[in-house]
Amino acid sequence: MATITGTASMDCRIAFTRGIEQHLLSPGASLAGCIDMLRREELIAWLRSCILEELSGHGQPSQEAFAVTLAQGPAWQLKVVQQSINTRFLYTQPFELIVMPLNGALTVETYQIDHPPALAEGSRIQHQGRTLLEPGTALLCGASGTVHDLRIQQPTLVAKLIGAVREPLQWMIDRERGEVIQAISSSPVHSELEIMARTLGALRDGGADTLASLATHESHFVRWSAIQAMGRVDPQHALRLLDHARNDAHAQIRQSASTVLARHAGAGC
């Protein structure tokens, strides 16, 4: 097979990007219609080219560890990630996702979620089957009510074509129990703010002003994380935030705040 030069690789990536953008302009188009555009040999060549660009200081490093962004547009991103471990939790996909292993096979466990329209904490997942995803074979993930678990036997490079977020929530599932644990925000920005709030809480010293500001954030996930973290940094301030949260716009926060305050009063603190 002929070696693809750096210039040819760049030209291929530009053509790929234009092809995706042109496809997504069609009425009702989805990223699933781009699955045939992914070719293993080209992706490997692009990966090499992108790494060389980054090493020369001309690339655009990914914000994710062990990941390289190959191409992207306003509503999609193509990247290659080295997956090395099997995590304890599974996650629903609030966006279209196409995966393709590049240098090894993946075992894919497929699960069906009970009552997906009314998904909530405690919902169960049912095992539907197992398939072997060979190198160069693409799989569409993210269909409503379905969860795909990509099982790693050894560190594997996986290409991921990721579409725009289409659902506000992403659900965390305990793999061993087969049970939905909690909902998290689909927004990467909101998720980072949640992590920052928890980190400030774990430090227990300082950050009260920042947490107070986050307690008024537009995302109820961020607001609640900030209130919880404040309980470790400044308990009295946290009680004031909880009292205010009893009138929060989001029902889950109103209920949780009332529950915590009732527990606090019952403890006689």
Token pair belonging to 192? 């980072």
Q: How confident is the model at residue 1 (pLDDT cuts 50, 70, 90)?
A: very low
Q: Beta-carbon neighbour count of residue 22 at 10 Å?
A: 10
What does the pLDDT average to over 76-81? 93
Query: Which residues have a Cβ under 8 Å from the Cβ of 94 and sit 6 or more positions away?
Result: 142, 165, 166, 167, 168, 169, 170, 186
What does the pLDDT average to over 3-30? 82
In the predicted model, is pLDDT for residue 4 greater than 60? no
For residue 107, being part of any structural domain is answered with yes
Which segments of the chain does DSSP mark as H helices, in order? 6-24, 40-55, 188-203, 208-214, 220-233, 235-245, 251-266
Q: Give the span between the Cα atoms of 125 and 51, in whole angstroms.
A: 39
Residue 25 shares a structural domain with residue 155: yes
Geometric angle at alpha carbon 209, from 205 and 215, rounded to 5°: 110
- Chain segment 98-125, per-residue pLDDT in tens: 999 999 999 999 999 876 666 777 889 9
Instruction: Report the amino acid identity of residue 181.
Output: I
Q: Give the span between the Cα atoms of 240 and 253, in whole angstroms.
A: 14
The CATH number of the domain holding residue 42 is 2.60.120.10
Query: Which residues have a Cβ under 8 Å from the Cβ of 257 and sit 6 or more positions away?
Result: 227, 242, 243, 245, 246, 248
Residue 102 shares a structural domain with residue 10: yes
For residue 82, being part of any structural domain is answered with yes
- Chain segment 172-213, per-residue pLDDT in tens: 899 889 998 887 777 778 878 888 898 999 998 888 999 999
- Chain segment 238-267, per-residue pLDDT in tens: 999 999 999 999 888 898 899 999 988 877
Residue 98 shares a structural domain with residue 149: yes
> How many folded domains does the chain comprise?
2
Q: How confident is the model at residue 88 (pLDDT cuts 50, 70, 90)?
A: confident
Q: How confident is the model at residue 2 (pLDDT cuts 50, 70, 90)?
A: very low
Report the share of the chain in percent with pLDDT over 70.
91
**Coil, strand or helix at 229:** helix
Q: Beta-carbon neighbour count of residue 49 at 10 Å?
A: 22
For residue 74, being part of any structural domain is answered with yes
Q: Which domain holds residue 231?
A: 189-266
Contact 241, 228 (CB under 8 A): no
In the predicted model, is pLDDT for residue 84 greater than 90? no
Residue 145 shares a structural domain with residue 19: yes
Q: Between helices 235-245 and 251-266, what is the axis angle to 10°?
A: 130
What does the pLDDT average to over 13-31? 91
What does the pLDDT average to over 67-88? 89
Higher pLDDT, 143 or 125: 125
Contact 84, 75 (CB under 8 A): no
Residue 143 shares a structural domain with residue 217: no
- Chain segment 211-229, per-residue pLDDT in tens: 999 999 988 889 999 999 9
Residue 204 shares a structural domain with residue 254: yes
Contact 238, 230 (CB under 8 A): yes
For residue 227, being part of any structural domain is answered with yes
